[in-house]
Structures are given as C-alpha cells and as structure tokens.
Amino acid sequence: MTIEKMRAAMLYGVKDLRVEDVEKPKASFGEVLTKIKAATTCGTDLKIFQRGYVEKVIKLPTIFGHEWAGEVVEVGEGVTWPKKGMRIRAGNSAPCLRCRMCQKGKFNLCESMLWLWGAYAEYIRIPSQMILVNAQEIPPHVSYEEAAMTEPLACVLHGAEEANIQLGNIVAIIGAGPIGLFHLLVAKKLGATVIISDLVNERLEFAKRLGADETISAKTENAVEKVKNLTAGNGADVVIEAIGLRDTWEQAMEMVSKGGTVLEFGGCSPGTRINIDAEPLHYGEVTIMGVFHATPRHFKSALNLIASGVLNVKPLVTKRVKLDGIEEAFETLASSKSDIKIAITP
Ligand SMILES: [Zn+2]
Ligand SMILES: [Zn+2]
C-alpha cells in the first residue's frame, strides 16, 4: 500500500520551519478532511517562530499555522455535518465542555482544550470535537482568506467585550500589528475615538487608512504624554496593549483615565512580572484585566461580522505567497514589519 503524501510546513523549533512531504491525513470516524484554500499568518505564529511557546498549546514538531479555511474533501463515518464539498472554517480550539472552567462558562480557559494546528499544509484533519463546537460553513460571498481571519477577530471581540468599550469612549491602542489593527476596526465600529501608537510609521499610516483618529510614533514621541494631551490630561477610557511586552504593559497603565480599563491583550513571555501603581487602582478605580483567546460564541460572531460586511478585514492581508514560500514570509514578517498578514495558499 502506498502512503499518500502532502506538502506541509513543519515547525521543529525556534526559527526552524521546513516545508516537507508528510503523510496526508485521513478522516477517521467522526472526522472530516479539508483541503486548505487559504491560511493567514498571525502574530502568535510569529512569536512562536521567534521565541517558542507554552507546550500545553503547541507540541513540536508539528505542522504550523492555525488560521485557515478550506473545502471538505473527505467525510468520515458517522459525520452528518459538514458535507463533502462544503466550504468551512474550523478551530483553532475546541473546549471540552466538561471541565471546571467550561462548566463555569469560561470556555476559553478550558482545562483540556483541544488545539488544532496544521494550517500551513495542503490538507487538515478536523477532529470530531472541533466539528461539534467550533466549525462553521462559510457563506458563498465570503472569501477563504477572509474566513481564515475569523480566529484573530474572535479573540479581539472577546477582548472588546470584556473591556466593555462604549459609544463615545476614547480608546488608546498600543501596537499597530495585526491584532492592534483588528482592535482598531472593532473599537471604531463600537463608536469609539481611537488613538494608536507604534514604532513603525508604515503601520501608523495603515492604521490611519483603517480609520484611526490619532496616531503616535512611539519612536519619536512620548506615547503616555501624547495620550494625556489628546484627552485633556485625563487619559483614555480604555487602553489596549496589543504587543506583549512588560514595558508596554506598564505603559498602558499610565495612559488610562480614572474609572477606566486597561486591557492587557498581548501575551508576555513566561515569567514576566509587572509593576502596578496602587494609587490609581484604588483612588481612581482603574480596572486592569488580561484576556486570553476566545470562546466558540466569539468565533461564530466573528464570522457573522465578516459575512455581513459590518467589519471589513480584507485590507489586513497585504501579501500572498505559496506554501513553499512560507519561510521567507516569516522572515519578512520578522524584519520588515510593513506587512500585516500574509495569506498562504498551498
Ligand atoms: Zn491567530
Ligand atoms: Zn473544558
């Protein structure tokens, strides 16, 4: 019997990504096999590529990538949905629904979360639990590329919901990478005035085109002072850190107004500790919160918002490459920073 092969980008370790021939998966009982039509690069992928990640979430070596959309090509026994030929997106996480966190409704914190990696390949196998709780059919007018961006948007929706952004709020975002820009799109749609800061001018220009009201060049300007100046000395109602560094986590707390909320969104390296000034926390009733990932409900509404045209995520894909060009794509993302998201087509 010959083993069928497929092309896939395997991550072996830090900065060690290789496109290889691997065994093509098959759909077993309860599973489906999907041909990937588009996958998108993500800040988390770049972070993992550059510095590694927590083993609970990704075990190496593995096929890399987690944002994708494709077409069902094989349906395992016992599967009633989806059908062969259907355009779907799924993943990258499926909560168990049974653990302590799931029972509390904190599905994003599931203690036995099923993570699905393998977007940078020709095919991906979808486990039954994923089909059950985190897979959707893509409406015909939505491109695979747009549908692939459901995952980051879901995480951002979760963050915006927790931070409780209100109509008329001033929102300051630190970082105009893909996640910062998704936050920008969502905050604008919620009726906020948005100030965004970054070190890279091209990204700030990009943010302006997406609707940012004010931009701060963190290279030449003092971001905290500028936010204060733009808000009559008060600070922003909501500050969102979208980088994942101690300095910017601390900076976010200096930008917030009395009664405001700091959303520490970017995950820091393990072991990172931060300094918090107790005074604004007590006398200013400042809320400091972290959020992690998203729940199936956020994935569903993210795809709905893309499909209805409420949020236009198309401009975030700034480059397209074939699977064999993926190593180069990550080198580009790591160095140039003017590309936002790169779409990979097998
Ligand atoms: Zn992602
Ligand atoms: Zn669970």
Classify residue 338 by burial, with Cβ atoms within 10 Å: 0-12, 13-18, 19+: middle
* pLDDT value, residue 269: 87
Q: Do domains 5-149+313-345 and 156-290 have the same CATH topology?
A: no
* Separation of CA 229 and ligand 1 centre (Å): 34
- DSSP letter (8 states) at residue 121: B
What torsion do the CA atoms of 277, 282, 286, 287 make, to the nearest 10 degrees? 90
CB 131 within 8 A of CB 32: yes
280-302: average pLDDT:
98
Q: Is the domain defined by 5-149+313-345 classed in CATH 3.90.180.10? A: yes
Question: Average pLDDT for residues 195-211, to the nearest whole number?
Answer: 97
Concatenate the DSSP letters of all residues of 170-206 into one string: EEEEE--SHHHHHHHHHHHHTT-EEEEEES-HHHHHH
- Displacement of CA 200 from its chain's centroid (Å): 20
Residue 179: how many CB atoms within 10 A of its CB?
Answer: 25
The residue whose two tokens read 């009726």 is 191
What confidence tier does 56 reach under pLDDT thresholds 50, 70, 90? confident
Least confident of 59-63, 109-113, 255-259: 59-63
- For ligand 1, the distance from its centroid to the CA atom of residue 191, given in whole angstroms, is 25
CA–centroid distance, residue 106 to ligand 2 (Å): 8
CA of 41 to the centre of ligand 1 (A): 7
What average pLDDT score do residues 55-80 get? Answer: 93
The ligand with the least distance to the CA atom of 42 is: 1
What is the rounded CA–CA span in Å between residue 193 and residue 332?
A: 32
- Ligand found nearest the CA of 104: 2
Antiparallel, parallel or unpaired: β 170-174 and 193-198: parallel
Distance (angstroms) between ligand 2 centre and the Cα of 115 equals 12
Q: 162 C-alpha to center of ligand 2: Å?
A: 20
pLDDT at 214: 98
What is the DSSP track for 1-27?
A: -PPPEEEEEEEEETTEEEEEEEEPP--
Average pLDDT, the chain: 96
- Ligand nearest the Cα of residue 41 is 1
Q: How far is the CA of 35 from the centre of ligand 2 (A)?
A: 28
Identify residue 211 by its one-letter amino acid code.
G
Q: Is a pLDDT exceeding 90 seen at residue 50?
A: no
Kindly give the distance from the C-alpha atom of residue 98 to the centroid of ligand 2, in angstroms, as a whole number. Answer: 5
- DSSP codes, 139-182: PTTS-HHHHHTHHHHHHHHHHHHHHT--TT-EEEEE--SHHHHH
Neighbours of ion ligand 1 (CB under 5 A): 42, 44, 67, 151-152
Radius of gyration of the chain (CA): 20
CA 268–ligand 2 middle distance (angstroms): 24
Name the nearest CA neighbour of 344 among 329, 335, 334, 336.
329
pTM across the whole model: 0.96
136 Cα–ligand 2 center, Å = 20
Q: Residues 231-261: pLDDT tens digits?
A: 999 999 999 999 999 999 999 999 999 999 9
Q: Has residue 119 got a pLDDT over 90?
A: yes
Ligand 2 centroid to residue 105 C-alpha, Å = 9
Q: What is the dihedral of CA 19, 299, 93, 313, to 10 degrees?
A: 20
Question: What is the number of other CB atoms lying within 10 angstroms of the CB of residue 258?
Answer: 12
- Map out the domains of the chain as residue ranges: 5-149+313-345, 156-290
Average pLDDT over residues 298-316: 98
Find the helix or strand (DSSP H, E) in which 64 lies: none
Q: Which CATH superfamily is domain 156-290 in?
A: NAD(P)-binding Rossmann-like Domain (3.40.50.720)
